[in-house]
């Protein structure tokens, strides 16, 4: 497999490209998710608690948990992709470890391996309050680099 060697640091315009792409995601806007951190091969997204994001027991719904995990991993991979390309999720798996509760959820996507076409990311989601940070979900994701298809 030909591996893409990422640049030593995040290019000055890459963060803006990632944030602009995130801003076009209707679901993230609908959920109220916010992009928090963008760095080379790592992105975090936060989802503030609202009653409309819960399941019947009052915890964050797994759909919201999974959605922010998928986007965090996707954008982490996208930070390493060449200019003029875009990202698509090919597959992801998530394990729910504890009830997702807190003032907000924070999903962190981290690139494990970036290849020319396929990139693998680790996904983690934490339930966060002023007093605690609890790991509530972990997962793995495969992304596809869409060469020659700009992210618009």
92 domain-assigned: yes
Altogether, the residues listed in the chain come to a count of: 152
Q: How many domains does the chain have?
A: 1
Per-residue pLDDT of 76-116, as tens digits, reads: 999 999 999 999 999 999 999 999 999 999 999 999 999 99
152 domain-assigned: no
Structural domain including 87 reads 14-146
68 domain-assigned: yes
pLDDT for 8: 54
Question: Which are the contacts of 141, defined by CB distance < 8 A and separation ≥ 6?
Answer: 69, 70, 73, 74, 77, 89, 91, 92, 93, 109, 120, 121, 122, 123
pLDDT for 7: 45
C-alpha angle 6-7-10 in degrees, rounded to nearest 5: 105
7 domain-assigned: no
CATH number of the domain that 127 lies in? 3.10.129.10
Q: Maximum Cα–Cα distance for the chain, whole Å?
A: 47
Per-residue pLDDT of 14-36, as tens digits, reads: 999 999 999 999 999 999 999 99
Indicate if the pLDDT at residue 1 is higher than 90: no
Integer-rounded Cα radius of gyration of the chain: 15
6 domain-assigned: no
């Amino acid at each position: 497999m030909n591996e893409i060697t990422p640049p030593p640091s995040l290019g000055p315009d890459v963060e803006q490209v990632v944030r602009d792409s995130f801003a076009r995601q209707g679901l993230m806007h609908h959920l109220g998710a916010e992009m928090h951190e963008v760095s080379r091969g790592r992105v975090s997204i936060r989802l503030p608690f609202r009653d409309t994001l819960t399941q019947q027991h009052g915890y964050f719904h797994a759909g919201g948990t999974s959605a922010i995990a998928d986007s965090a991993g996707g954008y982490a991979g996208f930070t390493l992709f060449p200019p003029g390309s875009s990202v698509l999720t090919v597959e992801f798996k998530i394990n729910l470890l504890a009830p997702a509760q807190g003032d907000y959820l924070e999903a962190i996507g981290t690139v494990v391996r970036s290849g020319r076409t396929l990139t693998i990311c680790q996904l983690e989601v934490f339930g966060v309050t002023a007093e605690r940070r609890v790991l509530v979900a972990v997962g793995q994701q495969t992304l596809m680099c869409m060469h020659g298809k700009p992210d618009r």
